[in-house]
Amino acid sequence: MNATTVYLLHFDAPYKHAKHYLGYTADLDARLRDHRSGNGARLMAVIMDAGITFRVARLWKGGRDLERKLKNQKNAGARLCPLCAAERATKVED
């Protein structure tokens, strides 16, 4: 069995209410290629159609169970995203 990875994608611009995508895969490189080509998750296809770029913000070792646990947390994307945390820290310093 391949080791799986849970990943958090940070959108470089929000799409409506969405600023992140959380998923899991056994092959991160292939999954990111799928996302960039507009295949796979519907949200990622919409993001790509809108011309919004994204970055991998965080990785965890784990699979579907961990992904579900993280998704069930309120506002998980923003709370778990180190890129958002850095943006919040910069705003506080200004």
pLDDT along the chain (94 residues), means of 10: 89 94 96 92 94 96 96 87 82 62
Closest CA to 47 of 19, 75, 22: 19
How crowded is residue 58: how many other Cβ atoms within 10 Å of its Cβ? 17
Radius of gyration of the chain (CA): 14
pTM for the full model? 0.88
Which pLDDT belongs to residue 76?
A: 83
Token representation of residue 3:
């080791």
For residue 25, give every residue at least 6 positions away whose Cβ sits within 8 Å of its Cβ, in sequence order, or none.
Answer: 4, 5, 7, 31
According to the model, what pLDDT value does residue 74 have?
A: 81
C-alpha distances (whole Å) from 30 to each of 3, 14, 22, 36, 61 are 14, 24, 16, 10, 17
Q: Tell me, what's the pLDDT at 90? A: 72
| The predicted structure's pLDDT at residue 5 | 97
Q: Helices (H) and strands (E) in the chain — how many of each? A: 5, 3
